[in-house]
Amino acid sequence: MSAAPQPLTDTEPSQSPARPARSAKRSLAPALLLGAAGASLALLAAGRTWARGTAVLAQGELPRTVTGADVTGVPGALAVVGLAALVAVFAVRRVGRIVVAALLALSGLGVTAAAALGYGDTSALREKAADAVGLAGADVHHVTHTVWPWVAAAGGVLLLLAGVLALVYGRSWPAMSGRYERTPGGARGPRRAPAAPDLERPEEIWKSLDRGEDPTR
């Protein structure tokens, strides 16, 4: 005799909806770390030396250096925007969260593009050479570039990845607590009534009188 067919169970379908929720929760910590690290790298690199050169004077050569902020202020500004967007993701819901996540991703993309374009830019060095020489259009020699523009670009990539994670999984991330939000009518929710004072404890009676309450009621 053939074995009786086993009844079908719904174990597998019941587990499938939980998998996206677990994936969303697991993506929260990496997104926070990527966003915070990316903004920190971009801000750090913006204050470091990006290029060096020498301005030619009558008495000799004068070394000149420029930082990332001298070359372009875009990476530092967008890093601040990205960091603010990373925090704002948890303050909004639904469509607002998608918009903020897109802003986070675009901030990272902008940081990367600006840092890459600023790597070979010598206009800031020429301006400093002109200030040193006192002649407009002064040239610089022996120009060298540091690795800091690429550090800023790496920070932008991390911000971009954080934005992508927020776009894909952000809908399932928790939001800030609504315990202090106003009710739809505009008024705050009902407050809890203060506990009745213990008439056998004098300190409780004095506290009640200080609040303007009648402890005998």
Euclidean distance between CA atoms 4 and 1, whole angstroms = 9
How far apart, in Å, are the Cα atoms of 25 and each of 29, 66, 86? Answer: 8, 43, 16
* Model pLDDT, residue 139: 72
- pLDDT exceeds cutoff 70 at 13: no
| Residue 7 pLDDT class (50, 70, 90 cuts) | low
* Model pLDDT, residue 76: 94
- Can you tell me the mean pLDDT for 87-107? 89
State the alpha helices, DSSP H only, in 50-122: 68-71, 74-88, 95-118
| Residue 183 pLDDT class (50, 70, 90 cuts) | very low
Q: Are strands 140-145 and 60-67 parallel, antiparallel or unpaired?
A: unpaired
141 membership: H or E segment, kind and range? strand 140-145
- Angle at Cα 33 formed by Cα 28 and Cα 39, nearest 5°? 125
- pLDDT exceeds cutoff 50 at 14: no
Predicted TM-score (pTM) above 0.95: no
- Can you tell me the mean pLDDT for 34-59? 88
- Can you tell me the mean pLDDT for 163-185? 69
Q: pLDDT tens-digit profile of 146-159?
A: 999 999 999 999 99
Residues 6+ apart with CB under 8 A from 47: 67, 68, 69, 76
- Mean confidence (pLDDT) of the chain: 77
Q: Of 34-38, 75-79, 209-213, where does mean pLDDT reach its minimum?
A: 209-213
* Model pLDDT, residue 12: 47
